[in-house]
Amino acid sequence: MTDLYELTIQVKDLVEELRIRYEAQEGPADRNDHDFFQKVKTESAPMFQLNDQWLETAEEFVKDKRVNVHPNQVKSTHENVELLILHSYYIDVKKKRFNELNHSVHYVMDMLLNDWNHIKRDH
pLDDT confidence tier of residue 28, bands split at 50, 70 and 90: low
**Cβ 22 vs Cβ 91: under 8 Å:** yes
Residue 29: what residue type? A
Query: pTM score, two decimals?
Result: 0.92
Domains of the chain: 4-122 (1.20.120.440)
Residue 122 pLDDT > 90: no
Residue 7 pLDDT > 70: yes
Model confidence over 37-87: pLDDT tens digits?
Answer: 898 999 999 999 999 999 999 999 999 788 999 999 999 999 999 999 999
Sort 88 into a burial class: Cβ within 10 Å, 0-12 / 13-18 / 19+. Answer: buried
Residue 83: name the closest of 99, 107, 71 by CA.
Answer: 99
**Cβ 80 vs Cβ 104: under 8 Å:** yes
